[in-house]
Amino acid sequence: MEVYASDVDGVGGRLRDRDEGFRVVEREAFATEPVDAPTGDYPYLVCRVTLHGWDTNDYARRLSDAMGISRERVSWAGTKDKHAVTTQLFSVQGVSPGDLPDVDGADLEVVGRAGRDIYFGDLAGNEFQIRVSDVDAPENAAGVTDALREWGDLADGDAAAAEDGDGDVAVAVPNFFGQQRFGSQRPVTHEVGLAIARDDWKGAVLAYVANPNEAEREGTREAREIAGTEDWQAALDAYPRRLRYERTMLHTLVERDASEPADYRAALEALPSNLQALFVHAAQSYVFNRVLSERLRRGIPFHRPVAGDVVCFADADAPNDLPVPDPDRAQRVSDRRVDTIARHCERGRAFVTAPLVGTDTDLADGEPGEIERAVLDDLDLEPGDFDLPGEFESTGTRRAVQVTTPIDVERVDDADGTDREDDANALEFSFALPSGSYATTVLREYCKVDPLQLT
């Protein structure tokens, strides 16, 4: 994320001064049967869980450990941040309601049963209520809103609706992947994925277990420095027990006396399957963000196509207020069709897209295609590099380059009665985004601060 869509000064501030200041509720899109449905046909128990200060992966591990089952039997639709209050669905295979443990910081409600586990496509979107504290210039928020509306070429009708008492005005932002995709405090997830795509398994391992970051604790930095010497036993002895994923990889390296690429690949494959896939997804996301940044630099529109763009028509199964593109309904835009497709985009029937590069990716033509190829060349990648083993393989897809949402921005008046000093310099943002879009990419435009202040 190297460029802003708006050139108006931001409000400043920071996120997550407390977990309650970042609330996320999933917009669910998963049907269930009653809890007493036959377990033979419906072996998955579905629960709605509100987590206070839990990372989704950590909670899934705590849940599975408490029940004595494999972590792979716990599934969810979207990974949420630790420093937040989040409400989301989980499915657990082969258990009964009475098997579910009480976990501190987790309020669990059994919803029903299902014939399959929950996965990413079962999430329609998320609703956010986010407090930005220590704001420097709250008066700048209105100017940012106006600039984002102009950038997205949004109709005046939305402003009129707000004046009539609706309270929300639609804004558009580049659909960047947020900092969390790459690591909130230590952004290396994409580096692991890029190394995997280049068939550099040892480099991928070192990117994850070595590669110290100044934001980390001193003991962790020292352990990573030892790992960089490739003395795996010494690194394992030095590593804090709380960093269990790194320790899992180091255990594998020690057991195999790592010397071959297969040993390093085995260390990565010792991690949960969703984390293995996340490495490659982060690499794809990094390429996507680079493409969007260059499109912004060149002043190419996001809300309407130019010749050579690949446009996807809207997914008919998505909610009307959270539209997303259907990658299976893609069309390459020719000079002759630009104006026609632009009208579909203006009406929310189609989306300009960029690739999440994989083996099946067809790159765009024209100037958009030039940008995509230049980014891949700079990273020494090509679509065929994602023909990978196991969970690392990816056929790729396409993603909208712009996301639009009605947003409400209000000065905080200490409505929660906490009487905190920073409430006097806080703004509260309320909006919803479709699955896969990041709240921090919206707030990035409003705050214009160091990305780490938005994690």
Catalytic (active-site) positions: 81
Which residue is it, tokens 């490739």? 230
Structure tokens at 77: 């639709």
Length of the chain: 455
Residue type, position 395, single letter: T
Question: C-alpha 376: how far from its chain's center?
Answer: 21
* CA atoms within a 13 Å half-sphere pointing along the CA-CB vector of 31: 1
| Residue 339 neighbours by CB distance under 10 Å | 10
Distance CA(294)–CA(296), nearest Å, equals 5
Structure tokens at 104: 């501190």
CA dist 338 → 86, 308, 348, 369 (Å): 41, 9, 15, 16
Residue type, position 405, single letter: T
Tell me if 120 sits within 8 A of 56, measured CB to CB: no
Report the candidate in 333, 375, 369, 370 with the shortest Cα–Cα distance to residue 351.
333
Structure tokens at 409: 């921005």
E strand or H helix at 434: strand 427-434
Phi and psi, residue 403, nearest 5°: -130, 140
Distance CA(169)–CA(149), nearest Å, equals 9
DSSP type of residue 165 = I
| Residue 102 neighbours by CB distance under 10 Å | 8
Report the candidate in 130, 84, 9, 131 with the shortest Cα–Cα distance to residue 420.
131
CA dist 183 → 195, 242, 286, 380 (Å): 16, 17, 12, 22
Distance CA(293)–CA(296), nearest Å, equals 5
The 10 Å CB-count burial string (b at 16+, else e) for 236-265 is bebbeeebeebbbbbebbbeeebeeeebbb
* CA atoms within a 13 Å half-sphere pointing along the CA-CB vector of 148: 30
CA dist 385 → 359, 374, 393 (Å): 7, 16, 9
